[in-house]
C-alpha cells in the first residue's frame, strides 16, 4: 500500500506541476497574442487551475472507471466551498472578506444553477452524453456572461498584478505547452490507475477514494491561487476563483466526461456527497448575502469539511 500511495502522490505532484507550467505558458501566449489580462484570467487561469480535475475525469471515463468522475467533482466542489474558502477567510489580513464586486453575486446565482443542473443530471445514477452536452452549454452561457458582464476595473487590475510578464519567446512557450500537455496526459493516466489500485487496497470504492483523496489533491492549484490572492488583499478575486472553479467542475468537467462516454454515479455519491454539496452551496449563498464572510464563518466551513471527510472515509 505504501508503494501505491507513493506512486499516486508522485503522479499527482507531476500532474499539478505540469498543469501549472501549461497554464503559465498559456498565460504568456495569450498576452503575446493580444488578449486582455481579464480575458486571460477568465479563459486560462480559471480553466488552468481546474485542469487536473478535467484530465483525471476524462481519463477515468476512457479507462472504464467513470464513477471516479462524480467523486472527483463533488469532492472538489466541497473542498472549494468549505476547505479553500475557510482557509481564505482565515488568511485574509482584514479578518473578513468584503464582497464589494456586484458581478460576484451573479456568479453566486450561476453557482446555484450549476449545482442544480449537476444534481438533476445525476439523479438517475448516470450522466448521459446528452446531459453532458447540456452541462457544457450551461458553461458556455457562463463564459458569455463573464465576457459581457464580468469585466470590471478592479478585476482588470488584479489580473494585471497576478499574471506574469510575457517575456519569453512565443516558440519557447509553444514548446512548453506541447511538452506539458503530454506530461499532463501521461501523469493523469498514471494518477487514475494508482487511485484505483489504492482504493482496492483500502477496500473502498474508487468513487470514495476520489472524493476524499483525489479531490483534495486536484484542488491544490485553486487553494494556492486563492490564498495568495487573499494575502495580497484581493479577497474578491480569491472568492471569484473559487466560484469559477466550482461552476467549471459542475458544468465543464462533468459535461466533458459524460460526452466522452457517460458517467456512472454510485449510490454513496447520490445519498450523501451530492446532498452535502448542495447544502454547502446553499449555506454559502445565504451567508454571503451581507456581502462579507467573517473569519468565524470560515472556521465553520473548515469544521463542516472535516465532518464531510470523516463521513466519506467511513471514520464517523
* pLDDT band at residue 101 using 50, 70 and 90 as cut-offs: low
Name the average pLDDT for the chain.
82
Q: How many domains does the chain have?
A: 1
Q: What is the pLDDT of residue 28?
A: 78
For residue 4, give the C-alpha cell.
501505491
pLDDT of residue 227: 77
Annotate 291-311 with b (16+ C-beta within 10 A) or e (fewer): ebbebebbebbbebbeebbee
Alpha helices in 33-62 (DSSP H): 37-40, 46-49, 51-62
Which is nearest to 298 in space by CA: 278, 315, 276, 283? 283
User: Which strand (E) or helix (H) includes residue 173?
Assistant: helix 170-202
* Cell reading at 155: 478585476
pLDDT at residue 174 is higher than 90: no
pLDDT band at 69 (very low <50, low <70, confident <90, very high): very high
Write out the three cell numbers for 36. 486582455
Interval 204-216: pLDDT, tens: 888 888 888 888 7
Domain containing 288 equals: 2-313
Chain centroid to Cα 85, Å, comes to: 12
pLDDT of 257-278, one tens digit each?
999 999 999 998 999 999 999 9
Summarised one tens digit per residue, pLDDT across range 134-166 is 999 999 998 888 777 655 545 555 555 545 554
pLDDT band of 38, cuts 50, 70, 90: low
What is the H or E stretch that residue 17 is in?
helix 2-32
> Are residues 310 and 316 in contact, defined by beta-carbon separation less than 8 angstroms?
yes
- Is the confidence at residue 167, as pLDDT, over 70? no
Confidence of residue 107 (pLDDT cuts 50, 70, 90): confident
Give the model's pLDDT for residue 151. 53
Confidence class of residue 130 from pLDDT cuts 50, 70 and 90? Answer: very high
Top-confidence residue, 52 or 119: 119
Within 8 A by CB and 6+ apart from 42, the residues are: 143, 146, 147, 150
Longest dimension (CA), the chain: 53
Helices (H), 203-234: 206-209, 215-218, 220-231
Instruction: Identify the CATH number of the domain in which residue 200 sits.
Output: 1.20.1420.30
Amino acid at each position: 500500500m505504501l508503494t501505491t500511495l507513493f506512486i499516486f502522490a508522485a503522479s499527482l505532484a507531476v500532474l499539478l506541476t505540469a498543469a501549472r507550467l501549461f497554464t503559465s505558458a498559456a498565460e504568456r501566449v495569450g498576452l503575446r497574442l493580444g488578449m486582455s489580462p481579464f480575458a486571460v484570467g477568465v479563459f486560462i487561469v480559471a480553466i488552468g487551475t481546474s485542469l487536473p480535475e478535467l484530465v483525471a475525469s476524462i481519463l477515468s471515463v476512457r479507462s472504464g472507471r467513470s464513477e471516479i468522475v462524480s467523486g472527483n467533482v463533488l469532492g472538489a466542489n466541497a473542498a472549494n466551498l468549505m476547505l479553500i474558502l475557510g482557509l481564505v477567510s482565515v488568511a485574509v489580513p482584514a479578518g473578513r472578506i468584503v464582497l464589494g464586486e456586484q458581478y460576484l453575486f451573479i456568479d453566486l446565482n450561476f453557482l446555484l444553477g450549476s449545482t442544480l443542473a449537476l444534481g438533476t443530471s445525476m439523479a438517475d445514477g448516470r450522466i448521459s452524453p446528452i446531459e453532458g452536452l447540456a452541462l457544457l452549454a450551461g458553461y458556455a452561457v457562463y463564459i458569455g456572461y463573464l465576457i459581457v458582464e464580468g469585466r470590471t476595473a478592479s478585476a482588470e487590475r488584479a489580473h494585471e498584478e497576478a499574471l506574469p510578464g510575457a517575456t519569453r519567446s512565443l516558440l519557447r512557450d509553444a514548446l512548453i505547452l506541447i511538452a506539458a500537455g503530454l506530461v499532463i496526459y501521461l501523469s493523469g493516466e498514471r494518477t487514475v490507475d494508482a487511485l484505483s489500485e489504492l482504493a482496492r487496497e483500502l477496500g473502498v470504492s474508487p468513487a470514495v477514494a476520489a472524493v476524499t483523496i483525489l479531490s483534495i489533491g486536484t484542488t491544490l492549484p485553486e487553494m494556492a491561487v486563492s490564498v495568495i490572492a487573499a494575502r495580497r488583499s484581493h479577497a474578491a478575486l480569491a472568492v471569484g476563483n473559487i466560484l469559477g472553479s466550482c461552476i467549471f467542475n459542475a458544468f465543464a468537467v462533468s459535461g466533458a466526461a459524460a460526452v466522452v462516454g457517460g458517467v456512472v454515479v454510485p449510490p454513496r455519491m447520490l445519498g450523501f456527497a451530492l446532498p452535502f454539496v448542495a447544502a454547502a452551496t446553499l449555506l454559502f449563498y445565504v451567508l454571503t448575502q451581507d456581502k462579507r464572510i467573517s473569519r468565524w464563518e470560515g472556521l465553520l466551513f473548515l469544521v463542516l469539511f472535516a465532518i464531510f471527510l470523516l463521513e466519506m472515509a467511513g471514520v464517523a
